[in-house]
Structure 1
């Protein structure tokens, strides 16, 4: 898993999305690269969003969650702590410095909040290039399920200066928690 390229992790995330079953892997890679590049370029405006810390993230499979009404980011401390331990267990501290899991989770949710803005969402859809409808020269671009997750992870990667995409840690954490719950 740690040997996978970050774009391969993004392709795997998109490929695991139910609406993309049977999609051409070349198309999934195109969307993964486009979403990653978009996320790296994102420059969300600083917004005052209340941050609430709570437990229960491991059971729900959540590290953090953005809610738009009212704007709030919920950070799940049990999941953050488990992710920090996983970083140490895997020897990934050089990629994910102490405290970077929480910082990346907050940046990730900031990216989701930014992607809620109409103009940003429209630009993102154009970047992905998934056409839902074409009428002459006009196009209606469609939503690509999972691409917002790829972009948000890419933004967190760039904003926090991490050595690897948080997708690596997210995938490893999901596998570790799944294995632990089976035992």
Structure 2
């Protein structure tokens, strides 16, 4: 960082909580391939829509088996859902770092003890739900991204990253978190990419 960095950027690096959840979601979309050059206001609109969609989803029961692994820091993963067979991989080393960050940043009121793990499981359950059910089409309709129009026929397109935003919002809602797991993800990314950090 140089001294010419805007004051807001410096504050954000010191305190990622100064950025609201929808802005973190818009940044996630902006960093997703296929969104290069898209209007930032359109990305914010999609982020708001996906966030609202995820927060309104009915509770989802996961039937995926859960496997704990210890190589999340090197992969930069907290959890991951794979569909064949339906499995959630939880990365215990990244979960432990997330809990440390919550305490170090004074975010325990937003992320009570055990909630990071619960949120990771809820987040991945929604990925399974969107992968296997009609909710994926409903999310596309809600986003309103049209890729083809023939007269009155309209084909809703996929918005890369929107399912991720919806999953974070769902996890925030069902786990009763004060902030989206996107904030914690941003703090983890910053901690894992800090110069001089050893895994």
Decide which of 69, 90, 109 is 1:94's aligned counterpart. Answer: 109
Decide which of 43, 59, 62 is 2:74's aligned counterpart. Answer: 59
Moved over 3 A (4+): 180-183
Structure having the higher Rg? 2
Aligned to 2:12: none
Q: Deviations over 1:76-116 (max 9, x none)?
A: 00000000001011111111011111000000000101111
Gaps of 5+ in 2: 1-15
TM-score, with normalisation over the residues of structure 2? 0.89
Aligned to 1:10: 25
Supply the distance in 2 between the matched residues of 1:54 and 1:75 (Cα, whole angstroms).
6
Give the RMSD, CA atoms, in angstroms. Answer: 1.2
Q: Is the 8 A contact 2:119 2:181 kept in 1?
A: yes
Decide which of 118, 123, 126 is 2:141's aligned counterpart. Answer: 126
Decide which of 150, 162, 172 is 1:157's aligned counterpart. Answer: 172
Deviation (angstroms), 1:117: 2.6
Matched pairs, number? 183
TM-score, with normalisation over the residues of structure 1? 0.96
Gaps of 5+ in 1: none
Deviation (angstroms), 1:33: 0.5
